[in-house]
Amino acid sequence: MKWILLSIVVAATTASDLLQSYQMKRGGEQSAGARGLMQLLRRISRNRYLILSIVCLAFSFFSFMALIQTAPLSFAVPASAGSFIVETILAKVLLKEHISARRGFGAFLVLCGIVLLAR
Amino acid sequence: MRFKGKVFRAYALLAVFLALRAFGNLSLAWGTKHLSSALAANPLTYVRALADPFVALAIAMLIVALLVRLALLSLADLSFVLPMTAVGYAISALFGKVFLHEDVSPLRWLGVALILGGVAMVGTTSGKTPSEMDTTE
């Protein structure tokens, strides 16, 4: 059960993050002040991809809630980062982000850490 | 000058996001672990769980965290944001040990150290892939 819940968390998070990053970069820079957040809410309500990303996030969240109820916090949170490597690769492939050797190696170290943390 | 301000804003948003998510997850773990029935088994349990003050507080914090993260994504690359927010995994391991008295093995702490090393490395790279829009500005 633990692993089924974790798989749902990982798949839904990956889909949500890619949609969010893609859409937020298209619209230009966003501030997070009180006015910025209101503007952000309006922006979300008008963009169906952002709405879809929130639906994915809701799936991920409710699975995470069930996971965290039984699994230790120090396992559930790091293990949910299984989406990490998939997302970095997809950021390069789908979003055409430039991954420098240094950034790639840093991401790899983080992944190794997550693997150890999740044991 | 403009570039410096942008970097500062990105790190400020990152700090706010990390704090909100760490405390949000802790509150969520605390709240759900004290529920009487299993969540995965019954959708109705979710509705009842929302009435728990710790779960409600957790959800409020995590929603604000999501909005802060969206703003952060408009400033920086996803491949920068992802490793940097990984500091949150270390914070969660720490919170799990301190507040929930979970057993964190030496191997897990080694994992925490690796994550922080990776994060430090990513932190020294520039936050955003230059786009055509940025160069024409």
Per-residue three-class SS string for B42-76: CHHHHHHHCCCHHHHHHHHHHHHHHHHHHHHHHHC
Contact A109 B107 (CB under 8 A): no
pLDDT at A23: 80
Phi, psi of B131, deg, nearest 5:
-105, 170
Q: How far apart are CA A20 and CA A116, in angstroms?
A: 29
Question: C-alpha distances in angstroms, B72 versus A75, B37, B45?
Answer: 26, 37, 33
pLDDT at B127: 59
CA angle in degrees (0–180, nearest 5) for A48-A76-A69: 90
How much is the average pLDDT of A33-57?
82
Contact A68 B32 (CB under 8 A): yes
Asked if pLDDT for residue A119 goes beyond 70, the answer is no
Question: C-alpha distances in angstroms, B90 versus A67, B94, B99, B121?
Answer: 18, 6, 14, 16
Q: How far apart are CA A60 and CA A12, in angstroms?
A: 5
B44 touches chain A (CB under 8 A): no
Share of chain A above pLDDT 70, in %: 88
Contact A77 B92 (CB under 8 A): yes
Domain count across chain A: 1
pLDDT at B74: 86
Q: How far apart are CA B52 and CA B28, in angstroms?
A: 10
Higher pLDDT, A97 or A118: A97
pLDDT tens for A23-32 read 877 766 666 6
Which tokens sit at A103?
Answer: 């950034």
Which residues 91-120 in chain B show a CB within 8 A of chain A? 92-93, 95-97, 100, 102-105, 107-108, 110-120
Contact A107 B104 (CB under 8 A): no
* Residue B71 neighbours by CB under 8 Å, 6+ apart: A30, A31, A32, A36, A37, A40, B13
Going by the DSSP 8-state scheme, the letter that residue B34 receives in this structure is T
User: Are A116 and B108 within 8 A, CB to CB?
Assistant: yes
Asked if pLDDT for residue B135 goes beyond 50, the answer is no
* Chain A residues lying within 8 Å of B13, measured CB to CB: 32
Q: How far is B49 from chain A (nearest CA, A)?
A: 10
pLDDT tens for A71-110 read 888 878 877 777 777 777 888 888 888 878 887 887 788 7
pLDDT at B28: 92
First to last CA, chain A: 17
B42 touches chain A (CB under 8 A): no
pLDDT tens for B2-47 read 567 888 888 999 999 999 999 999 999 999 888 877 777 677 888 8
pLDDT tens for B51-107 read 899 999 999 999 999 889 888 988 888 777 877 787 887 888 889 999 999 888 898
ipTM higher than 0.90?
A: no
Burial of A111 (0-12, 13-18, 19+ CB in 10 A): buried
Residue-range definition of the domain harbouring residue A33: 2-118
User: Are B115 and A117 within 8 A, CB to CB?
Assistant: yes
